[in-house]
Amino acid sequence: MRQSELKHKVELFVTNGKLEEAQDVLAKIGYGPAQLDDLAAKLRTWNEYHHNAKTLDREKRKAAKAEVEARAASGAVATRFKRTGRRVFKGNIPVLTELGLYPPLWRRIGNGTTNDQTEPDQTNESRRRKSGPSKSTAAVLDRRRLLFGKGQDLTEEDQARLAERGWPVEEIREGAALIEAHAQADIIHTQKEQAHAAAVSAASAAAAELKKLYLEARGYAKDAIAELPPKKRARLEKLLGLND
């Protein structure tokens, strides 16, 4: 039974079930007005959960889009700063290490490995394949925070060299802000995903409970109506939505 069909049948049963003709039968089998009101309340609860799940789904999609945009901005600024940093401080292992740019981060491609910078102090024979760095959001954010955080803590001389290449400290701070914006967008997206999943679970449980209670009531009602004269039975089955 589809959810839309279940909703319609329950509405029909609890509404028309209060009519005097229906109550002559239903009240005798435990479905007086109070019991029908209880079933109607279960339907309202399910409708509320269902509506909440749909609302949270929209919010989740919106948060996902915002996270994608923030991640792209974070990645673009980090890539630009890393490229500049590697050029400006080429051969300066202490500074590159401080910025998190040394040793180079290798990544696996197919059956081999590559990266955008040859790892120094290794012969071809000793060079070994390495899996790339973690691509989890947490790991990526940690590396980018290190990059921009240490970039602001460099000596005045090193910061001046960066400024000459388009990265004054103000620009580095703006980059750091984009990284934090990405982190916040990721948190919000995760929260919305979890809230939506919980709402879907609650709605499913409410629908399952409603279906169980309705089918039970339907079964008792059909048994009771089966004892009536044919014309009256047909009329009540149609009135209560039991004629299918």
Predicted TM-score (pTM) of the model is 0.78
How far is CA 133 from each of CA 84, 118, 169, rounded to the nearest angstrom?
A: 21, 16, 27
pLDDT (tens digit per residue) in 151-189:
999 999 999 999 999 999 999 999 999 999 999 999 999
pLDDT (tens digit per residue) in 6-28:
999 999 999 999 999 999 999 99
Pairing of strands 107-109, 112-114: antiparallel
What does the block give as tokens for 31?
A: 């479905």
pLDDT (tens digit per residue) in 80-92:
999 999 999 999 9
Q: What rounded mean pLDDT belongs to the chain?
A: 90
Label residue 106 by pLDDT band (50, 70, 90): low
Is the pLDDT at 129 greater than 90? The verdict is no
Output 74 or 243, whichever has higher pLDDT. 74
pLDDT (tens digit per residue) in 54-73:
999 999 999 999 999 999 99
**Main-chain phi, psi angles of 17, to 5 degrees:** -65, -15
- CA end-to-end span of the chain: 12
Output 110 or 212, whichever has higher pLDDT. 212
Specify burial of residue 212 (Cβ count, 10 A radius: 0-12, 13-18, 19+): exposed
Label residue 243 by pLDDT band (50, 70, 90): confident
Cβ atoms of residues 53 and 62 within 8 Å: no
pLDDT (tens digit per residue) in 201-212:
999 999 999 999
Is the pLDDT at 124 greater than 80? The verdict is no
- CA 39 from chain centre, in angstroms, equals 32
List the single range of 53-57, 133-137, 192-196 with lowest mean pLDDT: 133-137
Q: What is the 3-state secondary structure (H, E, C) of 73-100?
A: HHHHHHHHHHHHHHHHCCCCHHHHHHCC
- pLDDT score, position 33: 97
Residue with tokens 């580095």: 172
- pLDDT score, position 144: 97
Helix H or strand E encompassing 65: helix 33-88
CA distance 10 to 39: 8
